[in-house]
Structure 1
Amino acid sequence: MSEPVTGTLAEIVADVLPTYAPEAVITELVEAATRQVFAPDPLADPVAALTCPAPAPQPADPAAAAVARAGVDIRPVDTHLDVAAAVSVLDGVFAPGAGHHFYPPSLLRHLLAAGAPVLLAWDGETPVGVVLGLVGWTANGRPMVQSGPMAVLPTARGRGVSIALKLAQRAWALERGVTEIRWTFDAMAPVNANLNLRRLGATVEAFLPGYEGLRDATSPTPLPYDRLLVAWHLAGTSAVPVDGDAEPVWAVASADGLPVLDPAWALAPAALVALPADISTLRRDDPATASAWQHAVGGVLREALASGWQAGWDPCGAYRLTSPTR
């Protein structure tokens, strides 16, 4: 199968249309590609939209400021060509050279038909980032957005595109009266932990061991997909103080690249949990060391969260756990 489609809209069209097609056929295909995808909004009130006056313009919000800093334009996926662009970004990040789509176009179209928010970041005419979402309900019946995969192409990283996408998702939710977004992330990824817990202020709800099965399940050293479940409460701020007065101990520290566990952490008012700088490289090149890290970190996080500890991200570059009896 060919490589994932990337580039400008014109390049995507040129890549997917056969060069031997008659001009009339090409015209029809281009018109079809730019046709709007059916995407009803499950939280919209069409009667109110017709009978109520338009709301007054609001002052600039954090999402607009983040988009300006990142130098991108973020828009909802709206046409079939947008779907192809979103698929190309997801493939480029999660399935480069895999020979298959990470998210098939048909699946994205079904999400859009259900009113799911799929937001695409554009650098000019080039798609560079995407975040998926699905509207659902909490256990007590309140609407929420379950945020799905977020991908930013390597060429656009370091500019704040990720936080711009998340804040755009937040704005989408608040416009519809939704005040909670949930998602999971790799518990071993420090960049993700810093973004989700410190910069966005999401709250860790649970540790989910093996949430997505096993990585490389056929290899001699398969590793579980351990995830942290977080809730982003949009109407408030983070409930986890990461810079408290209590002097933390290192529950998991690093020594010569290996994790060192101190069982006495459970008796302290606060504890730090180190992570390896690049777990992806360890998983590929040294699965035994990656497994040691994952077992040490996962064991502490699982025990702490089950016992009521709160987890945040410390500026030193580690999880900071705060005891419920502090």
Structure 2
Amino acid sequence: MSEPITDPVTDPVAGQLAEIVADVLPADVPEAVIGEVIAELLPAEGPQVLVDDRVEAVAAITELVEAATRQVFAPDPLADPVVALTTPGPAPADPVAAASARAGVDIRPVETHVDVAAAVSVLDGVFAPGAGHHFYPPSLLRNLLAAGAPVLLAWEGEAPVGVVLALPGWTANGQPLVQSGPMAVLPTARGRGVSVALKLAQRAWAIDRGVTEIRWTFDAMAAVNANLNLRRLGATVEAFLPGYEGLRDVDSCTPLPYDRLLVAWHLTGRPVMPADGDAAPVWAVAAAPDGLPVLDPAWTVAPAALVAVPADICALRRDDPAAASAWQHAVGGVLQEALAAGWHTGWDPRGAYRLTAPTR
């Protein structure tokens, strides 16, 4: 991420520049991200060239602010802009408005350089904190936007707190499809439904364009994601993808590539949530007293089975990579076998996948 240009204590030139920025900054531009954008647009000589003459500096910074807040991306190639996301004061019955109100955020499409910087800052804060590099560089987001990709931001006042990316595409038979990408919510904004609001806004974007299905993948070991995707949103597990991301980075906490589940979110009608049934499920994978997974092979002949996963796989990967790998082998093996045999995969509030056997 670019170095901040607004620290007058450590950099007198930056302090002068910050004063000029404050003078010309429009009231509706978030100060948290404008400095990042201006730093990116500065000439190669850096901020020093802008403070030698204050009159020229004001003119230059004004031009930079205007460039940063200008909408420069191509029009949406699929449809008209989403009225539900851009018209103020949506009807109370609007699920996006209701979910956003509960979460205390405002969901808006990414449109300007400032929006891009805000999205990058959220993605970095969740997926690459302290890494010294961007999780998604601004140039990549700009290209996605130019191709008509929906990138939606959750704002809490002037602070960006959540983002979800996606790509428009087509199914094998030529039907429009949205492939959802990374979704990130800052730790300070979690636990109040920001993710649900973002996904419902993405759903509205898709429906407005005649899209009937959104697909995405998620870490099969992530309990929070499984609960959101399968139980709260009602997405359907389509496939188990072992080692989907290929080899992990050299600094990964585990020696294994992460397995992922492919899910489909069907947007026509209400999602049909499968009944739990009367049969008591067996624990196909459960936690032993030492915290390691225990496999019960009898699950294959039961009408239903539960597959436990660690409550916080990220912490386990960091603190005990060997145990995390053992869990991934156990859980992945059962999920892969069950899906290949036609079992339905849902999420149980006890913190486990719930597998329902196909009709025999």
In the other structure, the counterpart of 2:305 is 271
Give CA deviations for 1:14-67 in whole Å, capped at 9, x if unaligned: 355465421111111000000103132222279xx9xxxxxxx97722111101
Residue 14 of structure 1 corresponds to 35
Distance in 1 of aligned mates of 2:210 and 2:253: 48
Map 1:144-183; keep pairs closer than 5 Å.
144-183=177-216
Q: Call closer, same or farther: CA 1:102–1:3 in 2, change over 3 Å.
A: farther
* Number of residue equivalences: 315
Q: Which amino acid aligns with 2:354?
A: R
- Which letter does structure 1 place at the counterpart of 2:329? H
Cα distance between partner residues in 1 of 2:68 and 2:251: 40
CA-CA distance at 1:285 after TM superposition = 1.3
Looking at structure 1, the residues matched to 137 and 224 of structure 2 have their Cα atoms a distance apart, in angstroms, of: 27
Matched, 1:201 2:234: yes
Shift, 1:255, TM fit = 1.2
Instruction: Map 1:54-65 to 2 at 5 A.
Output: 60-65=93-98
Q: Counterpart amino acid of 1:10?
A: E
**How far off its partner does 1:215 sit?**
3.0
Q: Which moved more, 1:33-42 or 1:166-175?
A: 33-42
Find the partner of 1:294 among 316, 328, 331: 328
CA displacement, residues 156-188 of structure 1 (integer Å, 9 cap, x when unaligned): 111110100000000111111111000000100
**Distance in 1 between the 2:157 and 2:91 partners?**
26
Which residue is equivalent to 1:91?
A: 124
Q: What does residue 293 of structure 2 align with? A: 259
Partners of 2:273 and 2:165 in 1: CA distance: 26
Q: Following the alignment from structure 2 to structure 1, what is the Cα–Cα distance between the partners of residues 351 and 266?
A: 23
Q: Distance in 2 between the 1:2 and 1:27 partners?
A: 20
Q: Structure 1 residues 171 and 218, CA, compared in 2 at 3 Å: closer, same or farther? A: closer
SS of residue in 1 equivalent to 2:126: helix
Structure 2 Cα separation of the partners of residues 33 and 232 of structure 1: 35
Task: Give SS of 1:85's match.
Answer: helix
> Does residue 30 in structure 1 map to residue 51 in structure 2?
no
% of aligned pairs identical?
A: 82
Query: Are the aligned partners of 1:4 and 1:97 in contact in 2 as well (CA < 8 Å)?
Result: no
Task: Tell me the SS of whatever aligns to 1:35.
Answer: coil
Residue 325 (1) aligns with residue 346 (2): no
Deviation at 1:231, TM superposition (A): 0.1
- Does the 8 Å CA contact 1:258/1:292 hold for their aligned counterparts? yes
Q: Could you say if the C-alpha distance between residues 60 and 251 of structure 1 is closer, same or farther in structure 2, counting changes exceeding 3 Å?
A: same
Shift of 1:221: 5.1
Deviation at 1:117? Answer: 0.4
Separation in structure 2 between the aligned mates of residue 220 and residue 236 of structure 1, nearest angstrom: 41
Mapped contact 2:230–2:236 kept (Cα < 8 A): yes
CA distance in structure 2 between the partners assigned to 1:311 and 1:70 by the alignment:
28
| Unaligned 5+ runs, structure 2 | 6-28, 40-46, 51-56, 84-89
Matches of 2:109 and 2:95 in 1, distance apart? 18
Q: Is the contact made by 1:4 and 1:92 (CA closer than 8 Å) also made in structure 2?
A: no
Q: Deviations over 1:266-309 (max 9, x none)?
A: 11111100011111111111111101100000000000001111
Contact 2:253 2:318 in 1 (8 A): no
Instruction: List alignment gaps of at least 5 residues for structure 1.
Output: 50-56
Matching of residue 213 in structure 1 with residue 234 in structure 2: no
Deviations, residues 82-137 of structure 1 (Å, cap 9, x unaligned): 11111111011101111111001111011111111000010111111100010011
Asked if 1:130 is matched to 2:163, the reply is yes
| Preserved contact between residue 258 and residue 289 of structure 1 (Cα < 8 Å) | yes
Distance 1:66-1:221 versus aligned 2 partners, 3 A rule: closer
Give the Cα–Cα distance (whole angstroms) in 2 for the partners of residues 3 and 159 of structure 1.
32
CA distance in 2 between counterparts of 1:233 and 1:225 reads 25
- Select which of 68, 74, 82 maps to 1:39: 74
Larger radius of gyration: 2
SS in 2 for 1:223: coil
Q: Look up the match of 1:305.
A: 339
Q: Is the 8 A contact 2:254 2:317 kept in 1?
A: no
Partner residue of 1:52?
none
Matched residue, 1:107: 140
Higher relative contact order (CA 8 A, sep 6+): 1
Structure 2 counterpart of 1:89, one-letter code: V
Kept in 2: contact 1:242–1:320 (CA 8 A): no
Letter in 2 for 1:153: L
Rounded Cα–Cα distance in structure 1 between residues aligned with 2:98 and 2:253: 48
Amino acid of the structure 2 residue aligned with 1:25: A
Q: CA separation in 1, counterparts of 2:179 and 2:37?
A: 32
Q: TM-score, normalised by structure 2?
A: 0.82
- How far apart are 1:243 and its partner, in Å? 1.5
